[in-house]
Chain A
Amino acid sequence: GAGVSQSPSNKVTEKGKDVELRCDPISGHTALYWYRQSLGQGLEFLIYFQGNSAPDKSGLPSDRFSAERTGGSVSTLTIQRTQQEDSAVYLCASRLDKTQYFGPGTRLLVL
């Protein structure tokens, strides 16, 4: 079946612009995670959605970052007023039972 998909695969933007990153989870997976992977770093947890519960936003690095999940499916991560330090790979994962399944990521470059 289809896996987790993310779009765009690559995004180049100018400092100060807003960007939106999209994640389509595997159908039926109620849990969805966003992570950030910077060069040479591990995965940094950003935000977690589980069903209709309030999301866990504890990993968002600043108020420029926000995410929503519509209809319990597609999720959008928004970064406002992008900074060069936001350049990273943003990974989305959906979870079934005990296992997370990852998308290919969006590579964001802020010039």
Chain B
Amino acid sequence: AQSVTQLGSHVSVSEGALVLLRCNYSSSVPPYLFWYVQYPNQGLQLLLKYTSAATLVKGINGFEAEFKKSETSFHLTKPSAHMSDAAEYFCAVSDPKGYQKVTFGTGTKLQVIP
């Protein structure tokens, strides 16, 4: 069984400030982990993924995430928020074996304040 918990359904940051979106996972096997972003009225777009290679993963738009096995976490960060980062972010976990059923978190809406 696998699950994902995203802490904070809404996060507000000032433009230029650090973005930190939290994700903790539960998995009975070493997982694959993903962050997706969803802009209003659009589908989900992959930001970055961890698939058992480097634990610090860099993605698009300046985002990165670090896989910490000891903390079962995969938090998403960006050093400096832009107005265009306002969107909803989803963390997801999958089992590398079998058919890779993906379990998504409930999402975190990021608001960027000018």
A-side residues, CB < 8 A to B, are 4, 31, 33, 35, 40-43, 45, 48, 50, 56, 91, 93, 95, 98-105, 107
Contact = CB atoms under 8 A, between A and B. Distances in A.
Contacts of B45: 102
B40 to A, nearest CB: 11
Contact of B42 (A35, A41, A95, A104): A104
22 contacts: A31-B100, A41-B106, A42-B90, A42-B104, A42-B105, A43-B44, A43-B90, A45-B103, A48-B99, A48-B101, A50-B99, A56-B99, A91-B44, A95-B100, A98-B49, A98-B100, A99-B46, A99-B49, A100-B102, A102-B36, A102-B44, A107-B41
Interface residues of B, number: 24
A35 B36 CA distance: 14
Contact of A4 (B43, B46, B104, B105): B43
Interface in B9-58: 9, 32, 34, 36, 41-46, 49, 51
Interface of B: 9, 32, 34, 36, 41-46, 49, 51, 90, 94, 96, 99-107
A102 B102 CA distance: 13
Nearest to A104: B43
A45 B101 contact: yes
A99 B96 CA distance: 11
A43 B106 CA distance: 7
A103 B106 CA distance: 19
A50 to B, nearest CB: 5
B78 to A, nearest CB: 21
A102 B100 contact: no
Closest 10 CB pairs of A and B: A102-B43, A42-B106, A43-B104, A102-B44, A104-B43, A42-B104, A103-B43, A50-B99, A98-B51, A105-B43
Contacts of A43: 44, 90, 104
Contact of A42 (B32, B34, B51, B107): B107
